[in-house]
Structure 1
Amino acid sequence: MVTALADTRRARQIAEQVPDPELPMLTLADLGVLRGVEADTDGTVVARLTPTYSGCPAMAEMRAAVSARLRAAGYTRVDVRTVLDPPWSTDWITPEGRRKLAEHGIAPPGPAPRRAPGPVPLVLSPTRHQAPCPRCGSGDTEETSRFGATSCKALWRCHACREPFEYVKEI
């Protein structure tokens, strides 16, 4: 039993180190998409991932990378599953992940909006009115494009240091 528990911990540590394909400064654990790693009764290592949003094109890469890392570490039976409930939220990004985003010039998200259970209402107004500059810390910034290199990011500009930057949208 102790050996199985230690082996499960080792598998989790390996999966936690897989970098996100779109934000490679973050691991899947930093981003909060790695839900868990367990061993089934037959010895299969089961890793569970949650996409940042429905239809996230990076999920195939994440699954393949987790599977490849675990297999390279000697786990012969690996099953990477997608978990949709509860849905991922930017609140799941760890403090370390937020620090890494800012360190790489990407403004981390603020708290995710709170919603009542049930259908998600369509809101056409901006979700954030201010994004502090990750380079100089100034709050004198403006959104230049609602869409960045990936669907989960927007483009902003700082009026103080005049540097452009991305920020991760709150979900």
Structure 2
Amino acid sequence: MFRPQVTIERYGLIRKSFFGGAGSSNGKAQRSYRISSDRFLSRGNCILREYDRLVGETLLPDLAAKDKHEFSIGQDADIVYKENTTLTSSRTYNETNRLNIKEIEQRTQSTYTINLVLKNYKKNRSVKIEYKQEVYARSMKLMTNTLGFIQDSSTIQFSGVLLADEEKLLSYKIEVIN
């Protein structure tokens, strides 16, 4: 028998979709895990325990050596977010789509400011947080941000740590063209 070295990383995942429009939302982070092994792991049931408490059960796929698998098991009631999206500016213009046919399309360029409040209600431990906002638009650009937001294609991402009983206010601005 062999004993693989398995690494499990726990984090709170906030995954959202942005279709345009101002408003506010709130919710809880997903209890998420990232697992990897130094050897091949065959598929099968995986029972998760934290601090001698049963957290949940999931079915893991075949996992190649040093490959990572991510999964979530429910929500973490102690990690909450509140997000407020404000339309800062908007303008409409005409764009020529094809020169030969002279097809003209109307475009709207909008700028949004997104304020995000993250709160960790756990009294005795910090948690890693990953925030991912998928923006559905013709094009999108991250304009300004605080605390390390990055743009990866059409997704805005943030990764950080919330200390025990900490609340963080994060903010970024995006430009969207539809």
Q: Same fold (TM over 0.5)?
A: no
Higher strand share: 2
What TM-score, normalized to structure 1?
A: 0.27
Higher helix share: 1
* Higher normalized contact order (CA 8 Å, seq sep 6+, divided by chain length): 2
